[in-house]
């Protein structure tokens, strides 16, 4: 694994976990709509839905109900990571 400047290995592994969950959503064809909740300290931080027919991720931040649409997995993963990081830093 290539280490990004300024990112610890623990941070990289968190991002890898997020990417793997998003890939699993894309791979699961049992339903058109796949949803996952991302949590920190047992608190739901954001919900993500993948729509197979459109090929997009919809992210909803649960603290302010902001919604984002992404057609690229990596951009969705970065935004999820940012949401989790911001939540963690709020303590």
Q: Which DSSP symbol is given to 4?
A: P
Say if CB 60 and CB 74 are below 8 A apart: no
Instruction: Give this prediction's pTM.
Output: 0.85
Per-residue pLDDT of the chain (91 residues; tens, 9 = 90+): 344 556 666 666 899 999 999 999 999 999 999 999 999 999 999 999 999 999 999 999 999 999 999 999 999 999 999 999 999 999 8
Predicted confidence at residue 7, as pLDDT, reads 60
Work out whether strand 33-40 and strand 67-70 pair parallel, antiparallel, or are unpaired: unpaired
Work out whether strand 56-61 and strand 67-70 pair parallel, antiparallel, or are unpaired: antiparallel
């Amino acid at each position: 694994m290539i280490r990004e400047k300024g990112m610890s290995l623990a941070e990289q592994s968190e991002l890898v976990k997020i990417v793997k969950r998003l890939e699993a959503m894309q791979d699961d064809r049992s339903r058109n709509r796949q949803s996952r909740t991302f949590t920190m300290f047992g608190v739901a931080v954001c919900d993500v839905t993948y729509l197979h027919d459109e090929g997009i991720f919809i992210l909803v931040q649960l603290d302010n109900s902001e919604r984002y649409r992404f057609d690229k997995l990596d951009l969705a993963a970065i935004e999820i990571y940012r949401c989790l990081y911001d939540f963690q830093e709020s303590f």
